[in-house]
Structure 1
Amino acid sequence: MDSLTQIVLGAAVGEAVLGKKIGNKAMLYGAIAGTIPDLDIISNYFVDTVSALKFHRGFTHSLVFSIIFSPILAWIVTRYEKYKNIKQWSWFFFWVFITHPILDAHTTWGTQLFWPLDIRLAFKTIFVIDPLYTLPFLVFVIMAMLQHRSSNKRQLYNRIGLIISSCYLLLTFVFKFIAYKQFENALENQKIEYTKIQTRPSPFNTILWSANIETKDSFLIAHYSFFDSKPISFQPYPKNHHLLGDLINNKKIKKMIGISKGWYTITKIDNQLYYNDLRFGLLSLTPEAQNFVFQYKINTNATGSITFEEVAKDALDGKKLISELWQRIKGN
């Protein structure tokens, strides 16, 4: 999830664990600690693109990280804080750390909660920025913060924020199931043969859902809003995996395919190969759009080694997408 959401979650969890003991400091430390797992983005400056993608939401988003670093942070804090109970501080940091990847596991990218096992939990039920999750949560955290630490209202407001946000998170599974059945029924009605289907919410909401469907030679992309009145339409995108040629045996190519779980297409423009990760869709809802959210140039040098270069996103595409989303959410 985005940084603001993780700050709010960290503050609320911190308040729930140590709010009675240290007051608003619990929210402050919780908010700061809630962002620590995302420091893994620093790896972008030291390793190649593929390695950085593999590392993202890996070790720092794991149960192992939470267990190891909670007592370390607790020891550091008790060196200067008046409240010296290192066991309570360890418990505090553990819950702030572990709830971060648990929330991230609901997004499309997911987390390696059980690192070093190569298992990435990705429930794909919520977009990384969802105002319906974050804003009510933020309001109740602020309301709690304004109360005295011994006030019953403080505990009540914080608890309400945690309950509402958690219930919404559970509700997204219901939304996902409904959307999944709609896509499944549409494929059956249109007699489309497929091998796999993957669904995810569109940006900033859980009303409009997207689906990737794998067929023999192509992937289909489709959208469904709960306000739709017309049948779902499926847009094909040829796999074009054959364009890789012998590069299919390259270690970096194999690693990238593993990262995208096989949901990728290859395009060739002016003799340049592009790797398109389908898991996150496109920056447009118009048919036959080609501006994938994550698209990489496959560069080869004279020695035959490969590098992936992410294609820069156009800010205008983002603005256009927001407009398209608003129209599409209202139904087809």
Structure 2
Amino acid sequence: MCVRISKPFLLTLLLTVVPAPASGPMFLSGETASRVLRRQKRANTGVFEELLEGNLETLLNSSLENNMASLPTTPAGPTSPPAVNISWWMQSDAEVPLRPRLRIVGGDVVIPGEIPWQTALIIRSSGKVFCGGTILSDRWVITAAHCLLEVQGAFYIRAGEHTLNLHEDTEQNYEVLEQHIHPRYNSSISLYNHDIALIYLKSPIAFSTTVRPICIGPRAFTEYLVKEYSPATVSGWGRTRFLGVTAETLQKVQVPFTDQTECKLSSSSRITPFMFCAGYYDEAKDACQGDSGGPHTNSIHATWFLTGIVSWGEECAKEGKYGVYTRMSLYYHWIDYVMGSSGKVLEVDVEEPDP
């Protein structure tokens, strides 16, 4: 269902398809996406021009009546290492870029509850946030694959976090049961190509006004959003400047989509077709060390969709350089399959990008 949250809160989608192990994921099917977007060809154009505002609104209202989650209590934090099952397949097909995108520079402080799908990945031994993640359903979180190399399972997920080192009665800690790294990810070949992973939690997330899942949509819909509804919002607790201190409070920054040709020309490392760039050529606004795995999101009629995953970059907010993100649109079917929402056999683990 799509759930409207009063301003200044964001709006999130809870569209139930065929249930995942505990609860349905937030998928927008190809059929539903077609209803949301009307392809209207104007003179000399061939893009989606007209949006059916009523479709999302109707979907939101009807789903809200049937599926509204009850407000939760906050569970106690994990006290012992979890038993973690890791699905890890290897396939080489890329080169190695420069450095991970652990990051937020030139951003603003997030209002509590404004980005309710944001999670923190926290090292168990130190309590340090090392990466971000995004809630897809009550049992699934999505992040960057390279984040899972840093701790080898010795971490937990925190939802509802806003200001680190300050108890705000909104925090919820969850144990990790399974880690599913994309089958084409191979860190020995490239640390950032196919930089995507899914995390399955031991227990379901308790949704509230500060903890909600985000929407994901099929390829054409997602690629339309990321380009035509730019700028996107990126968030995290990463460094506020290159090699600087990390943020205590969740930060956000808006970054525009960058043409793929410009993206490739700007980088001294290979930009593969499974990545895209966003950011400014000469403006100090970017993600930075500590933001890896976090959400790159675009909104359409106040409904927010995950369109990218913070991956890597060359320093932070450096002139002539852009942030590089995992191209979410190409992994929709893999995500759908791993989360068990469709019940179908996986034919392709990643869609082939445009030439």
TM-score interval for Structure 1 and Structure 2 normalised by the shorter chain: under 0.3
Higher fraction of strand: 2
Question: Highest relative contact order (Cα 8 Å, sep 6+), 1 or 2?
Answer: 2
Higher fraction of helix: 1
TM-score by length of 2: 0.23
Compare CA radii of gyration and give the structure with the larger one.
Answer: 1
